[in-house]
Amino acid sequence: MRAEHTDCSMRQNKTRAGKWLRALLTIVGTVFVSLGIVGIFIPILPTTPFLLLAAACYAKSSQRFYHWLLSNRWFGAYIGNYRQKRGDAAKDKDSDCGIVMVDHRGFGCIRSPVFNG
């Protein structure tokens, strides 16, 4: 009788810990999605690694969020390309290179002695 009581309380503790862990992973996954969104607009912040981390968190915590992320119109392509071992699309690489070149050229002008007088 005593062993049955211990088993029941252990299951309840695991269930309670599981709920907290799923909630924590869902929150962390949402933070990673937010960072991925910021990374779309800021070239220095990578998008794909944050979305992959979010997908891993959602896979362990919420099938609904995981499915939403994979089937999302904007984010699904990042994860789908990675899962199929294709990486970034060529057009994304070209635009990334252009943005970085413009970014560095602008930074070089700001630090140039000509502009600093």
pLDDT tens readout for residues 56-77: 999 999 999 999 999 998 888 8
Closest CA to 83 of 93, 96, 94, 69: 69
The residue behind tokens 């099938």 is 63
Task: Look up residue 108 and give its amino acid.
Answer: G
Question: What are the sequence ranges of the domains in the chain?
Answer: 2-86, 89-117
pLDDT tens digits for range 21-65: 999 999 999 999 999 999 888 878 888 889 999 999 999 999 999
Token pair in block for residue 50: 């944050």
- pTM of the entire predicted model: 0.61
- For the cut 70, the answer to whether the pLDDT of residue 89 exceeds it is no
8 A C-beta contact, residue 101 and residue 109:
no
